Amino acid sequence: MLEPALRVRGLKKQYPGVLAVAGVDLDVARGEVFGLLGPNGAGKTTTLEIIEGLTEADAGAIEVLGLDWKRHGTEIRSRIGVQLQSTSLFNKITPREALTLYGGYYPKSRTADELLELVQLKDKADAYHITLSGGQMQRLALAMALVNDPELVFLDEPTTGLDPQARRSLWEVVRRIKAEGRTVILTTHYMDEAEALCDRLAIMDHGRVLTTGTPAELIAQLAIPSVVELSFEGAAPAVDGFDARIGAAVEVRGDLWEIPTPDPKSLLPRLLEAAEAAAIPYQQVHVRRATLEDVFLHKTGRSLRD
């Protein structure tokens, strides 16, 4: 039986004026895609950088692939692959050169051609990296994280700042990495990305893990599989006793009223009738199933985007 990919207990990191990581426990099994989901400033990147050996923790125990940083630092480094949140390379290096150069730092490495094929960057293989687009740069960073044929791959916000098409193509690469049998740990503040990619998730806020599970489990925990949304032109009005009329909680978020419900079919007729009677000036009605966004909202009272 192989050791787990990652085991973290009681991780803490204090920065001047802010407790960035406030006691984090994580377990990641081999072969899974594990996500750290949370808003900016939740402590995801700090947690990841401590695990990657870039930052030293104030307290806590970490085992990476069953190994300890203090005694096996070099071995851990040669068996993990890391994509930093922003990868800054020397100005005039080409993707092919960067992959060959970095591959040379490891005991075993994959060829530049193979990796460029994997991340679909063959046509830019010999261009200076400063001429790459954001999406191409992220794919190069991903290829660099795979250069040593790693067992465990860390991706820090791999799709932040990318357009939808570039994001989809990056997701495709992440799925291929998983299909190759590697373990992936990624951070993201996009709930659709977490749902699309992750086998299991830890939702983080204020340096703590709020809850852990598969996306389906986390949503099921809510016991409110659906959400009915009324949209308004401009800011939504105050609820003002309307929740009592329909016998369900109403949450005001931006230009929406959100009404979580286990049974939208029976709620809808009551809701529309009451809205008509109270002359609520809504524009549209929308029924959707609950998402990780709702889980986060439920746990913190805030939206991921706030």
Partner 1 sequence: MLLWRQFLMEWKLYARDRAAMFWTFAFPVLMLLGFGLIFKGGDTPKLSVVWVQPAQAQAKDEALLKALAQFPTRLLPMSPAEAEARWSRGETAVQVEPTAEGFRMKVNSYLVAQGQMTAQVVQQAFLVSQSQLRGQPMPTLIPVSMESPGHAKSANYAAFLLPGLLGMNLMSMGLFAVGMVNVSYREKGKFRRLAVTPLPKWIFLLGQVLHRLTVTLIQTVFLLLIGRFVFGIVNEGSYLLLTLVMVLGTACFMAMGFALSSFAETSETYAAISNLLFFPMMFLSGVYFTLDAAPKWLQQAVIVLPLSPFLKALRAVFNDGDGLAGHAVGLVVVAVWAALCFGLAVKRFRWA
Q: Which residues make up the interface to partner 1 (CB under 8 A)? A: 52-54, 74, 77-78, 80, 82, 84, 86-93, 97, 101-102, 104-107, 128, 144, 148
Structure tokens at 81: 């692959």
For the bound state, the minimum distance from the C-beta of residue 90 to partner 1, rounded and expressed in Å, comes to 5
- Report in angstroms how near the CB of residue 204 gets to partner 1 at its nearest: 22
For residue 158, give the nearest of 196, 200, 199 by alpha carbon: 196
**Least distance to partner 1, CB of residue 219, Å:** 34
Nearer to partner 1, 145 or 271 (CB): 145
Nearer to partner 1, 182 or 298 (CB): 182
Least separation in angstroms between CB 141 and partner 1: 8
Nearest residue (CB) to partner 1, 105 versus 263: 105
> With respect to partner 1, which residue has the nearer C-beta, 88 or 165?
88
CB of 193 to partner 1, least distance (A): 23
Compute φ and ψ for 283, nearest 5 degrees: -100, -50
Comparing CA positions, the residue from 16, 12, 64 lying closest to residue 43 is 12
Alpha-carbon gap, residue 81 to 151, rounded angstroms: 8
**Of residues 15 and 105, the one with the C-beta less far from partner 1:** 105
CA separation for the pair 206, 18 (Å, rounded): 9
Residues 57, 24: Cα–Cα separation, whole Å:
11
Using an 8 Å Cβ cutoff, are 121 and 143 in contact? yes
> What's the min distance (Å) between Cβ of 250 and partner 1?
46
> Looking at beta carbons only, is 104 or 241 nearer to partner 1?
104
With beta carbons less than 8 A apart as the criterion, state whether 63 and 10 touch: no
Which parts of the chain are beta strand (E)? 6-15, 18-28, 33-37, 59-64, 80-83, 152-156, 183-188, 200-205, 208-213, 226-231, 251-253, 256-261, 284-289
Shortest Cβ 86–partner 1 spacing (Å): 7
Per the CB < 8 A criterion, the answer to whether 257 and 286 are in contact is: no
Q: Which is nearer to partner 1, 27 or 97 (CB)?
A: 97
| Residue type at 276 in one-letter notation | E
